[in-house]
Amino acid sequence: MTTSRSREAFILGAFICAGLIIFGSLLANTALNVKAMDRVVTVKGLAEREVEADIAIWPITFNEAHNDLTQLYSEIERKSAIIRSFLEDSGFADEEISISQPSIVDRQAQNYGDARSIQFRFTAATTVTVYSRQVDLVRETMKRVVELGKNGIAISGQDYQNKTEFLFTGLNSIKPEMIEEATRNAREVAEKFAKDSRSTLGKIKTATQGQFSISDRDTSTQHIKKVRVVSTIEYYLSD
């Protein structure tokens, strides 16, 4: 009876020892796998495109001065009509042209300066704005704006508030291709790194798509835009 129980205990102990050995081996392999998975490389992929603007916003500002307010408004309306006619004759539709309310200053009402030295009491600034998808037409017409001088209209120079803008609104149409290109470029860099380190490139661990940016190609060709995106991707490495 005692011999039988001893044999059973021995067999049970043998199974327990074997199980512990197998369990320990599995833990060791798991630890090695986890350690291998900790090896990563982080790379960045760049994609750039040059595109043409598809919207132009062109403000045309002129100033007027007069001592009689009623005559000032009449002159503003007359010159605004001349500018509108010039733009329509150039090929712009009526809905592409808007005229702002004039900004009028009563110089005698100001608290500084000598009112007696003021030649004109009222001054006004008015802006006629073209908002159009005909970007090439805007650029060509801008070259001919000096023709308005023949009608006695002195166009103000462009400043920060009255600067012609060229916009690109078709970003969504090129986003997928640019993201694909940025990802492909990032993988090429990662594969080169893995080769140089005698490793094998694994799956993606994390991926971050950067912000898209749109800027002028340069100050001389503001109608041509540079679109740019940088993606950051982290890959696993293995021996």
Domain ranges of the chain: 39-54+168-239, 56-166
Q: Choose which CATH entry (3.40.50.300, 3.40.47.10, 3.30.390.30, 3.30.110.170) describes domain 39-54+168-239.
A: 3.30.110.170
Maximum alpha-carbon separation in the chain? 133
Question: pTM for the complete prediction?
Answer: 0.75
CB 126 within 8 A of CB 100: yes
At 111 the pLDDT is 60
| Choice between 129 and 197, residue whose per-residue pLDDT is larger | 129
Q: pLDDT by residue (tens digit) across 3-32? A: 555 555 545 555 455 544 554 444 334 333
| Beta partners for residue 59, in sequence order | 129
Return the H-helix or E-strand segment holding 83. Answer: helix 69-90
Q: How far apart are CA 232 and CA 207, in angstroms?
A: 6
pLDDT surpassing 50 at residue 73: yes
φ and ψ at residue 86, rounded to 5 degrees: -60, -45
56-166, CATH topology level = Alpha-Beta Plaits (3.30.70)
